[in-house]
Structure 1
């Protein structure tokens, strides 16, 4: 009865055996995003759209020398070798073996006793040489599903390498744009500090002549010291981004990669490249491609585990020579051959097979959940990045208007102070307001460029899946 029940259970599983093909999951998404900016065509070298040769060289250096990229490439090599190994498992296995051994029979063993009575030698050397082969017939697709899993793992590794390259390129661009933004803010403060020092020198001369009160001179000196103090954290932040670029490009931090380079304006933020249609996004974003291939690999491993419900058949054969002396080793009467077949069926181990299949199905369900989570996260990243880019551009336009108005206000305040109509405090307030506005404008320009990078990264960055 137990055997009949097992055979019925095996027959019931015939619709979901190792031969079951993988079907990509359907993930419901809206037809399009609420993209407030136009999306340009995909561009594999998207960083060149910034029009900055220094950025171009840094990204290319990072892609060539970054150690995370090198590690990802090494994982692809491992996955490719695993594919070759899984393919070889479907083919006959052949090897050549040779051995030599020296034997002395004990007279207290049956073989030794018989040898002594028949006057056969107790001491002899045995030499064997010849090929042997074996072949497991993949009757129920277990090996084939293992090969499918290895191929899916290889595709996932290749997509993961593209994801790492995209991440490294984006991180390098982000570090560079942060650096240019910090340098722009440093220039704003330095320019304002120079102006304040000129005013302090003028007031110092006037105070010495008794034309203005000494407190006004000291007030401007205090303002100048405060401005100079704000340069220190900016210098530290600039050094931090340069060190970040050093490491991203595969060099030791502090290698002076950009310390000697002159400050450059923040490049304008280009429109991101790539399709915002969810279906195309899933084909373009390498991390989503990798997640889907991991799911395919898990599905194939489930099929491979289910193949253990069925018997395994293997063939083996041996053809060689054996002799107790090397002189006649290859003589015709030294030839020996054998062949056979073996059947292995875990018939009374279905409890363990059930557990292995359950584990494989659990991993497949986990991979499916991870894929769906990755897709949802991708939609969040796209929506957020594009919205932030649009809003930051709107902020830049308003900041420019603010700087223009405050520049006129500051000029009028200085004219009023020189004419005696306004106090020094009015001039200093106007200077602080203009400095703050210029600082925010420089920060907004750098942030817009960074949001452009984030949008390109969220859209897949122009990296196409490998065939």
Structure 2
């Protein structure tokens, strides 16, 4: 038995060393693409210059200075179910890397069995045993340890490990992408909620003003001082403004429910905390000095595309490795006996060593097709990467443009509201002196509220454009 074991070990070690020394990796080595990027964002020049400390992109929402927004985002990061799914996918990809790494190592197994059998006399073998007087009852005991190893001479398994690692890194970036999306959607929905609250308050005030105008119109009509057509117009205007309330209330309820789902909470559980109206959060200034090149390491979707490209490149090597023979080593050491008492004796010992080869020698047409498919997948992944880079740059340019224009519009509408506010004060003073009527004061109030509603909408657009800008910049995730 020791001689058999020694020969087995020497044979396996010698062949393993020879195969390892001749090992290589077929297929192209991966070279990350180097896309041409502009020096800066064209639309960045239209943004307000950043003053004060730089905003930390990893927690950009805190730059809005709204404690409730901070609570909403923190809750979403902790409980959002889309994010939980993305994290679970990362765990799956990490396990796939471990599986690919294990394929490069020897595998072993310990097997044992004990069997007893009684042969039927209704079978040919049983009839022969019965005729010869052979005992038809038998036992068999086996105990053994086996090991096997696929010698990765041409690197097919190692290319597979590279592909699995790139897939894991893509999944990790996917979790970061989900995080960026969840934070941006939560912040955007929160801003919409505050906007709807502000607009609902304005519309209700407008409706109240219009009802006062309608009451005055009815009084004037009853006194014969107003034509019926003017009365009907006042009624129509009042009804039109009041009709804006139900859709805004519905939209507010929908936004609150949507925000709660993003936070992983049962709809209704945060209604009380969010019911009190609050100002639309003012966005911080955004610095754009790093330029488009920073997107390559910050945007998760670009990282995902680049890692998928690396995985596709590695799988070309996996396919090319099928042109070459695959060698394997296996060994068995164990005991087998019909008696449990003699199982571990020298007579029951057995050993085996096998060197195997598998070569798809007459299947090169299929291998050609597999290699061509792998190269085609790589070409698709390369185009997807280039598109991701272009789209990322366009996203930032569009977001910066929207932010700059929304801020400019909000400034103009704020000036308009201020002018209407001053006019309203003048009219109120004139009414106190008996120079103008109550009707003119209410009309001035209505125009002021219209200007305020337009300013609130523009202010909301600017805040949401800032959220879109932070999202387009990658939200601070670094590769």
CA contact (8 A) 1:19 1:140 kept: no
Give the TM-score of the pair, scaled to structure 2: 0.85
* Residue matched to 1:286: 300
CA contact (8 A) 1:270 1:449 kept: no
* Residue matched to 1:249: 263
Number of matched pairs? 449
Q: 1:391-402 residue pairs with structure 2 within 5 A? A: 391-402=405-416
Q: CA deviation at 1:360?
A: 1.1
Structure 1 position 28 matched with structure 2 position 61 = no
Q: Name the CA shift for 1:204/1:108 in 2 (closer, same or farther; >3 Å).
A: closer
Q: 1:82-101 residue pairs with structure 2 within 5 A? A: 82-101=96-115
Structure 1 position 65 matched with structure 2 position 79 = yes
> 1:70-89 deviations in whole A, cap 9, x for unaligned?
10010001001001111100
The separation in 2 between residues aligned to 1:427 and 1:229, in whole angstroms, is 23
Q: Structure 2: which 5+ residue stretches go unaligned? A: 1-23
SS, match of residue 139 in structure 2? strand
Q: 1:292-311 residue pairs with structure 2 within 5 A? A: 292-311=306-325
* Residue matched to 1:384: 398
CA contact (8 A) 2:57 2:470 kept: no
Give the TM-score of the pair, scaled to structure 1: 0.87
> 1:108-145 deviations in whole A, cap 9, x for unaligned?
99999998999865542211111100001110111111
* Residue matched to 1:12: none
CA contact (8 A) 1:42 1:275 kept: no
SS, match of residue 93 in structure 2? helix
SS, match of residue 338 in structure 1? strand
The separation in 2 between residues aligned to 1:168 and 1:361, in whole angstroms, is 35
Q: Structure 1: which 5+ residue stretches go unaligned? A: 1-15
The separation in 2 between residues aligned to 1:219 and 1:108, in whole angstroms, is 106
> Higher mean Cα deviation, 114-123 or 408-417?
114-123
The separation in 1 between residues aligned to 2:264 and 2:315, in whole angstroms, is 37
CA contact (8 A) 1:41 1:274 kept: no
SS, match of residue 62 in structure 2? helix
Structure 1 position 337 matched with structure 2 position 351 = yes
SS, match of residue 263 in structure 1? coil
The separation in 2 between residues aligned to 1:342 and 1:116, in whole angstroms, is 42
Structure 1 position 229 matched with structure 2 position 237 = no
Q: 440, 453, 458: which is aligned to 1:444? A: 458
Q: Name the CA shift for 1:260/1:159 in 2 (closer, same or farther; >3 Å).
A: closer
Q: CA deviation at 1:438?
A: 1.3
CA contact (8 A) 1:275 1:281 kept: no
Structure 1 position 161 matched with structure 2 position 169 = no
The separation in 2 between residues aligned to 1:238 and 1:327, in whole angstroms, is 82
CA contact (8 A) 2:119 2:137 kept: yes
Q: 330, 333, 347: which is aligned to 1:319? A: 333
The separation in 2 between residues aligned to 1:276 and 1:459, in whole angstroms, is 10
Q: CA deviation at 1:357?
A: 1.0
Q: Name the CA shift for 1:260/1:311 in 2 (closer, same or farther; >3 Å).
A: closer
> 1:213-239 deviations in whole A, cap 9, x for unaligned?
485777655543332221111111111
SS, match of residue 150 in structure 2? strand
SS, match of residue 325 in structure 1? coil
CA contact (8 A) 1:309 1:353 kept: yes
* Residue matched to 2:207: 193
The separation in 1 between residues aligned to 2:388 and 2:476, in whole angstroms, is 19
Q: CA deviation at 1:332?
A: 1.8
> 1:275-321 deviations in whole A, cap 9, x for unaligned?
65222211111111111111111111111111111111100000111
* Residue matched to 1:8: none
The separation in 2 between residues aligned to 1:111 and 1:129, in whole angstroms, is 27
Q: Name the CA shift for 1:238/1:249 in 2 (closer, same or farther; >3 Å).
A: same
Q: CA deviation at 1:419?
A: 8.1
Structure 1 position 81 matched with structure 2 position 95 = yes
> 1:318-365 deviations in whole A, cap 9, x for unaligned?
011100111211112111110110011111111111111111111111
The separation in 2 between residues aligned to 1:298 and 1:81, in whole angstroms, is 19
CA contact (8 A) 2:216 2:439 kept: no
CA RMSD of aligned residues (A): 3.1
> Higher mean Cα deviation, 223-232 or 88-97?
223-232
